[in-house]
Each structure stands twice: as structure tokens, then as C-alpha cells.
Amino acid sequence: MIYLKTDEEIEIQRKSSLLVGKTLAEVARLIRPGVTTRELDRVAEKFIRDHGAVPGFKGYNGFPATLCLSVNDVVVHGIPGETFLQEGDIVSVDCGALMNGFYGDSAYTFAVGEIDGEVRLLLERTKESLYLAIEKAVAGKRIGDIGNAVQKHVESFGYSVVRDLVGHGVGRNLHEKPEVPNFGRRGTGIKLKSGLCLAIEPMVNLGVKEVYQDKDGWTIRTADGKPSAHFEHDIAVRNGKADILSTFEYIEEVLNSK
């Protein structure tokens, strides 16, 4: 079942999505060599609860934390713990918040100190692919147009799109129909209608597209051990232009002031 949101519901959901952006900015303040992923998670949970919301991921299908913190070759679903971030690492921070009955869900991949130039380009181009995908998230287009925009952009640089993980609808549930792959053919898949809210999230590997899951049942890694980047926005499909509900603005204010 695909749920289309009313304008009023979209505005409620926007507040949840913006809170996630503000939470990621709080995390961004702390990202540096020597900080543990558990400390980042603690700060995020407190910030979300202090703003009248609850963490969207904690307890979801048994996930034990507020953030998915995925370092280097971890694509997604990394569990916070005693891992210390090190100079040259990258870390994807994926966060969800539930407020007033609606979920926000957004992710950003951060550099820890100075990173390799090749990896920095991977981050930049993955983020570019997110915005190219969002340009296709308009009424009358199809799901395949979104995935094709990601795939076409990143594969032009020799990167790989993860096939085993996808974006999704988002709203009263964290994961709703439809699935939103980051690959595909233009003009295929369901037709997009105004009011459809999606979490679009390119997951792009520097090396091969294949991934595997750790024994913890959550952590997803690249098969060749090379880095992976991940960026995610919540959007509402509209006529003519998608409405981006989440934001990287607060995050990038912090990064630019460091």
C-alpha cells in the first residue's frame, strides 16, 4: 500500500526531518579523531529527546542505538560502540526521529580530519547524485528515473551502486512502500504522484558493488574492503519540483566553521 500525504501531514513530517538535520549538526560538532562512536550516539539521543521526539532507529527490529554509524568500508547499519574515529576515516551518520506521529530519516557522510583525495571525491559525487535523483522526484516521473539518475552519475566515475539496499517511502512508518533503488532504467517502475514522501539515499562504493553482513546481524560492509559513501534526504513528490523536507544546511554550517 502506498500512502500519499496531505499538505498538513507533510508539514508535520517536515518538522521531524528538520530535527534530524539539526541532530546531525550536533554530531558534526564532535566528529574528530579520538571520539568514540558511542559518544556520538549518546549526544544524538539526548538531543532528539530534549526536542520532544524519540529516536526512530532505537529498538527498530531490535537495533540497539539511535544512530547508524558506518566507518570506512561499512556501507550502512554500523552499531555505535567503543570504536575510536581516526584521522583519515570517513563515517556515515544515519539518523531517524519520530515526532508527532511522523518519521524523519536522513544521512550524511563525514570526513574525519584530512582524508584521501580519491575518497573525498567519492563523497562529493555521491552527494551530487542525491540531488540529481531528487530532481527526478516529481509527479509524472517514475521510480526508475530516480535510481537511473544516481547510477548514471556515479558509474561515470567508475564507482559502484549498492544493489542490496534501497531507499524507501517514509511517513507514519520508518519504511513504507515503495522501495527506491539507486539504479534502474528511466521510465520504469511506479508513477510518482504528488504527496508521496520518499527517503532517497544513494549508497555508493569506491570499489565493487557487492556487500556482506557481519555476524552482528546489522553491519553491512563492502566485499572488497574499500570505502562507501551514503547521503540521504526526505522529500515530498510535487508537481514540477520535489520538496526537500530534511536539510544539510545546519550540518554544513558546522563543517564550514571548523
The range of the structural domain enclosing residue 110 comes to 7-257
**Is 108 inside any structural domain?**
yes
- Which residues of the chain register pLDDT less than 70? none
Cα–Cα distance, 224 to 235 (Å, whole number): 32
Q: Which residues of 76-100 are buried (b: 16+ CB within 10 A; e: fewer)?
A: bbbbbeebebeeebbbbbbbbbbbe
Question: What CATH number does residue 252 fall under?
Answer: 3.90.230.10
34 in any annotated domain: yes
Query: Is 204 contained in some domain?
Result: yes
Q: Report helix angle 249-257 to 7-30, nearest 10.
A: 20
2 located within any domain: no
* pLDDT, position 142: 98
Residue 107 lies in a domain: yes
Coarse DSSP helix, strand, coil percentages of the chain, rounded to the nearest 5 percent: 30, 30, 40
pLDDT confidence of residue 258? 84
Asked if the structure places residue 1 within a domain, the reply is no
Terminal alpha carbon distance of the chain: 45
Contacts of 61 (CB under 8 A, 6+ apart): none
How far, in Å, CA of 48 to CA of 23, rounded? 7
Q: Give the predicted TM-score (pTM) of the model.
A: 0.98
Domain count, the chain: 1
Q: Is residue 69 part of a domain?
A: yes
* 72 part of a folded domain: yes
pLDDT in tens, 211-234: 999 999 999 999 999 999 999 999
What residue has cell string 539511535?
A: 66
C-alpha 64/C-alpha 40 separation (Å) is 14
